[in-house]
């Protein structure tokens, strides 16, 4: 394998999310999030799993930071649990803030930059009981929460992400119902899109009001979208609509100060525009310092049904996340697939990065999530050999480097995920970590991909696998 070097100062990191790794869901004053409540719904989560124990990160910070040091990480992207620091969306909880203060201090003492995400899907259930993200007031409560966190950590944290993947929060949570809060209400979903973005803009200003030198961004999950049959007008239009919902509905208001007119029209039956008030788009497009990109695969879209029914294997009935497009399929292209049944398509990452560079106002870009689930196990030799994951990361780093060579201002890469963890609706059935977690003993075992990634981070270059 040819060695490929990355630019000087390129940031190498790994990422997690609070509900997926922390556990301790009732410790030190934490109250329910929408995910705690969702886990109690019969059939919502594979195996009936919950956020306990997750990877017990709440009690194992020092151990996990030592792992990060061993992996040569320069930055750790983690999220704050809203119901831990402002339980029920109410007053600040010092015990919860103190936990994140200890985590930040431990990272800094070990030369690792904390990279904080304020919202990775764990809305306090008490706010959902008042309507959740479908209600405008939640955006203002989010800004209040952001102020609390930055007042507590802003003397030590400089890199802030407001929202992680608002597409998932809105369309998976409020339209498809496969993520918390489990609602299947298209009007609520499109309202949630706007209120999430409004919350992002309000929080951006709230962060800067406390910390004038803060670096603020948002993280979006972006996918190239293609019609399965370019000669089919129906497939072409479906691809346009999916690209609108997945990509442009978030990029355009944040970076251009406007919603895409075609998607607004598509959402007319769902009263989207009624949620938008004078001045909202100016708030949403408050200038940013960076943009986070989460990339996993592409969407190859057909309007020919694949015949699959939403209810399978005892799982809870689900709807479609694609508001207004209920009959869709994503035909296979005979590509390798991960354990999530997602196609492995590294070239799509280059396409996403180049699209941002070519079509939108330019910001420093960071790949804030990229990784793959595979069915790993500890072998008889005590190791975890995961050549598929190693190959996935290596091929996507090559794709990222291709974008850099084309002039894209890409400044860092965060592998998803540092640890095996609670994979949302899939419970503990899917393993994304470069470090294996035995959920019974909480023993951590770095996988072959982790050992290889440690060489990459230290050399700032892709390196030979050396038989890993």
Residues with a known catalytic role: 165, 369
Return phi, psi of residue 367, to 5°: -80, 105
Cα angle 298, 465, 378 (rounded to 5 degrees) comes to: 80
DSSP helix/strand/coil, 61: helix
Residues with Cβ within 8 Å of 292's Cβ and at least 6 positions away in sequence, in order, are: 161, 164, 217, 218, 219, 220, 365, 366, 367, 368, 369
Strand 75-79 to 444-446 pairing: unpaired
Task: Quote the CA–CA distance of 49 and 45 in Å, as a whole number.
Answer: 6
Cross-strand partners of 161: 117, 217
Q: How many CA atoms lie within 13 A of 86 on its CB side?
A: 23
d(CA 243, CA 265): 14
| Alpha-carbon span 108 to 57, nearest angstrom | 17
HSE toward the beta carbon, residue 302, CA cutoff 13 A: 11
For residue 159, the tally of other CB atoms under 10 A from its CB is 21
d(Cα 259, Cα 280) in Å, to the nearest integer?
Answer: 11
Tokens read off for 277: 């008030």
Cβ atoms of 395 and 454 closer than 8 Å: no
How many other CB atoms are found less than 10 A from the CB of residue 305? 10
Host H or E run for residue 428 = none
Distance of alpha carbon 323 from the chain centroid: 21
Question: Other CB atoms closer than 10 Å to residue 377's CB: what's the count?
Answer: 9
Q: How far is CA 48 from the centre of its chain?
A: 23
Contact by Cβ (8 Å): 330, 301: yes
Helix (H, G, I), strand (E, B) or coil at 397: helix
Tokens of 230: 């370019």
Alpha-carbon distance of 168 to 178, in angstroms, equals: 10
Residue 57 per-residue DSSP state:
G
Report whether 416 contacts 22 (CB < 8 A): no
Instruction: Please state, in angstroms and rounded to a whole number, the distance separating the CA atoms of residues 101 and 90.
Output: 20
Would the CA dihedral through 124, 44, 165, 81 be positive or negative? positive
């Amino acid at each position: 394998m040819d060695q490929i070097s990355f630019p000087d100062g390129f940031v190498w990191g790994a990422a997690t999310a609070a509900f997926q790794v922390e556990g301790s869901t009732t410790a030190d004053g934490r109250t329910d999030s929408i995910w705690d409540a969702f886990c109690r719904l019969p059939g919502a989560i594979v195996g009936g799993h919950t956020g306990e124990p997750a990877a017990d990160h709440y009690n194992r910070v020092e151990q996990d930071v030592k792992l990060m040091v061993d992996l040569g990480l320069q930055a750790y992207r983690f999220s704050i649990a809203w119901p831990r620091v402002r339980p029920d969306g109410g007053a600040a909880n010092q015990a919860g803030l103190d936990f994140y203060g200890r985590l930040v201090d431990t990272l800094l003492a070990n030369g690792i930059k904390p990279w904080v995400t304020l919202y990775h899907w764990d809305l306090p259930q008490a706010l959902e009981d008042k309507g959740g993200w479908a209600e405008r007031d939640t955006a203002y409560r989010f800004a209040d929460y952001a102020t609390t966190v930055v007042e507590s950590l802003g003397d030590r944290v400089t890199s802030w992400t407001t929202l992680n993947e608002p597409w998932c929060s809105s369309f998976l949570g409020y339209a498809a119902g496969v993520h918390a809060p489990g609602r299947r209400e298209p009007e609520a979903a499109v309202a949630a899109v706007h209120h999430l973005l409004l919350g992002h803009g309000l929080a951006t200003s709230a962060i800067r009001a406390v910390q004038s030198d803060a670096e603020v961004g948002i993280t979006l999950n972006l996918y190239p979208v293609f019609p399965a049959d370019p000669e089919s007008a129906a497939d072409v239009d479906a691809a346009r609509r999916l690209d609108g919902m997945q990509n442009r509905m978030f990029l355009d208001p944040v970076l251009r100060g406007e919603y895409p007119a075609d998607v607004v029209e598509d959402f007319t039956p769902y009263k989207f525009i009624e949620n938008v008030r004078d001045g909202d788009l100016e708030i949403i497009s408050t200038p940013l310092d960076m943009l986070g990109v989460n990339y996993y695969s592409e969407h190859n879209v057909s309007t020919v049904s694949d015949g699959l029914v939403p209810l399978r294997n005892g799982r809870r009935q689900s709807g479609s996340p694609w508001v207004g497009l209920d009959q869709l399929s994503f035909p296979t292209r005979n590509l390798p697939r991960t354990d999530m049944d997602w196609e492995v398509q590294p070239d799509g990452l280059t396409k996403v990065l180049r699209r941002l560079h070519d079509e939108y106002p330019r910001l420093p870009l960071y790949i804030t999530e990229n990784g793959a689930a595979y069915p790993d196990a500890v072998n008889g030799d005590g190791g975890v050999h995961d050549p598929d994951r190693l190959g996935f990361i290596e091929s996507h780093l090559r794709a990222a480097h291709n974008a850099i060579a084309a002039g894209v201002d890409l400044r860092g890469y965060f592998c998803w995920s540092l640890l095996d963890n609670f994979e949302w609706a899939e419970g503990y059935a899917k393993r994304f970590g470069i470090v294996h977690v035995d959920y019974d003993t909480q023993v951590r075992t770095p996988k072959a991909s982790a050992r290889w990634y440690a060489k990459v981070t230290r050399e700032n270059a892709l390196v030979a696998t050396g038989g890993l």
